[in-house]
Amino acid sequence: MFLVYRYGSNAANQSMTPKMPLCFVDTDNEMTAERIAEVKFTFYNNQTMEVCSESEVDNDEWNELAGEIPCYLPAEEKIKPIATETV
């Protein structure tokens, strides 16, 4: 499971919001989480995305956001998980 943030502000969305949690993505693959966020949300030139695993986010913040922002599954979005290469 990953939490996706958008950094940067834009007059068209969230003016003066430097960091905004967007969604959770229920997948084991960070790249799949990123692809889903790119489909679901708009990122302007001055905005960037950060995809964080649960271990990278403060427990209180994770738990607080769990009931406030949407959670997406790759199958629901018709986005296939990206196979990770094993060595």
Angle at the Cα of 37 from the Cα atoms of 29 and 17, rounded to 5 degrees: 125
Domain for residue 81, yes or no? Answer: no
Residue numbers of the chain with a pLDDT score lower than 70: 12-17, 75-87
In a domain, 20, yes or no: yes
Q: Is residue 59 part of a domain?
A: yes
- Is 82 domain-assigned? no
Pairing of strands 19-25, 2-7: antiparallel
pLDDT at 87: 45
Task: Report CA-CA distances (Å) from 18 to 13, 48, 51, 59, 80.
Answer: 11, 10, 15, 21, 31
pLDDT in tens, 73-84: 876 655 555 555
State which residues form the domain around 19. 2-72
Tell me which H or E stretch contains 59. helix 59-66
Q: Is residue 77 part of a domain?
A: no
What is the value of pTM for the model shown? 0.79
Asked if the structure places residue 80 within a domain, the reply is no
pLDDT for the residue numbered 9? 76
Asked whether residue 65 is domain-assigned, the answer is yes
Within-domain flag for 19: yes
Domain count, the chain: 1
Cα(3)–Cα(37) distance, integer angstroms? 10
